[in-house]
């Protein structure tokens, strides 16, 4: 998954995606990038309102 770009592009095209990342550094980067892109607050990959 690395920085989440593929998941973001899938969402932009109206597609679902599942990202898996084992490296904690890249997992955190992906969560931050996805949350900034969509204005979500993410906690361990789950949306929190």
Residue 40 has a pLDDT of: 67
Q: Where are the domains of the chain?
A: 5-48
- For the cut 80, the answer to whether the pLDDT of residue 27 exceeds it is yes
Residue 7 has a pLDDT of: 84
Residues sharing a CB contact under 8 Å with residue 23, sequence separation 6 or more, in sequence order = none
Give the C-alpha separation, 5 to 45, whole Å: 15
Residue 45 has a pLDDT of: 53
DSSP at 43: E
pLDDT confidence tier of residue 34, bands split at 50, 70 and 90: confident
22 versus 2: the higher-pLDDT residue is 22
Could you tell me if 8 and 42 are in contact, meaning their C-beta atoms sit under 8 angstroms apart? no
Tokens of 26: 């890249």
Query: What predicted TM-score, i.e. pTM, was given to this entire model?
Result: 0.63
**Overall average pLDDT of the 8-26 stretch:** 86
């Amino acid at each position: 998954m690395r920085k989440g770009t593929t998941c973001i592009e899938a969402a932009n095209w109206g597609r679902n995606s599942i990202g898996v990342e084992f490296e904690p550094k890249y997992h955190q980067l992906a969560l931050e990038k996805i949350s900034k892109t969509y204005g979500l607050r993410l906690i361990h990959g789950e949306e929190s309102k």
